[in-house]
């Protein structure tokens, strides 16, 4: 088994090239913008979120298998806290009245899930 050292807070500055901020209404949202109703846009964003969620789950499972046993619990805790944060953050965007808020909430879930999937995939590259 290879040892994977997750970066410490001190070394995070060296990792600035890794995207770590969810880009709402980014490139992956593009096909959803072509929809003509709020319901269709939200359904499209939800479908894109499911695709990214599958990729996130695959990256998480692969990373859990690859890291040292002592890193598994901290990664599990971080993932659980990230899910709580994502859910609360995206509920904030979708909590106001109006159809654009429904779209913003759905797009928040898509963007944040994509970002986390890419982050975990990138973590697999550190050896």
Mean of per-residue pLDDT scores for the chain:
83
- pLDDT at res. 3: 43
What's the CATH code of the domain at 61?
1.20.1270.180
Q: Is 59 helix (H, G, I), strand (E, B) or coil?
A: helix
- pLDDT at res. 124: 87
Looking at residue 43, the DSSP 8-state letter turns out to be H
- pLDDT at res. 14: 34
Inside any domain, residue 95: yes
pLDDT over threshold 80, residue 118:
yes
Model confidence pLDDT, tens digit, residues 21-80: 567 777 778 788 888 899 999 999 999 999 999 999 999 999 999 999 999 999 999 999
pTM of the entire predicted model: 0.79
- Cα–Cα distance for residue pair 114/118, rounded to 1 Å: 6
- Cα–Cα distance for residue pair 120/76, rounded to 1 Å: 12
- Kindly state the tokens that stand for 62: 């692969």
pLDDT over threshold 70, residue 115:
yes
Domains held by the chain: number: 1
Inside any domain, residue 2: no
Inside any domain, residue 91: yes
Inside any domain, residue 37: yes
Inside any domain, residue 14: no
- Cα–Cα distance for residue pair 127/14, rounded to 1 Å: 15
- Cα–Cα distance for residue pair 67/5, rounded to 1 Å: 8
- Cα–Cα distance for residue pair 12/10, rounded to 1 Å: 6
Inside any domain, residue 30: yes
- Residues 6 or more apart whose CB falls under 8 angstroms from that of 4 comprise 63, 66, 67, 68, 71, 123, 124, 126, 127
CA distances from 100 to 19, 35, 68, 96 (A): 26, 13, 44, 9
Model confidence pLDDT, tens digit, residues 83-97: 999 999 999 999 988
pLDDT over threshold 90, residue 112:
yes
- pLDDT at res. 122: 95
Which one is predicted more confidently, 29 or 3? 29
Give the structural domain span for 64: 26-123
Inside any domain, residue 9: no
Nearest CA among 35, 58, 36 for reference residue 47:
35
- pLDDT at res. 43: 96
């Amino acid at each position: 088994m290879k040892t994977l050292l997750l970066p410490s807070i001190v070394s995070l500055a060296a990792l600035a090239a890794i995207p770590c901020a969810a880009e709402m209404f980014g490139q992956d949202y593009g096909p959803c913008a072509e929809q003509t109703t709020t319901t269709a846009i939200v359904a499209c964003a939800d479908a894109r979120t499911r695709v990214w969620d599958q990729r996130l789950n695959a990256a998480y499972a692969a990373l859990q298998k690859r890291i040292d046993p002592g890193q598994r619990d901290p990664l599990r805790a971080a993932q659980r806290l990230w899910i709580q944060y994502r859910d609360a953050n995206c509920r904030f965007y979708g909590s106001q009245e109006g159809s654009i808020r429904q779209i913003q909430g759905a797009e928040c879930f898509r963007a944040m899930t994509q970002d986390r999937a890419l982050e975990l995939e990138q973590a697999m590259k550190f050896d």
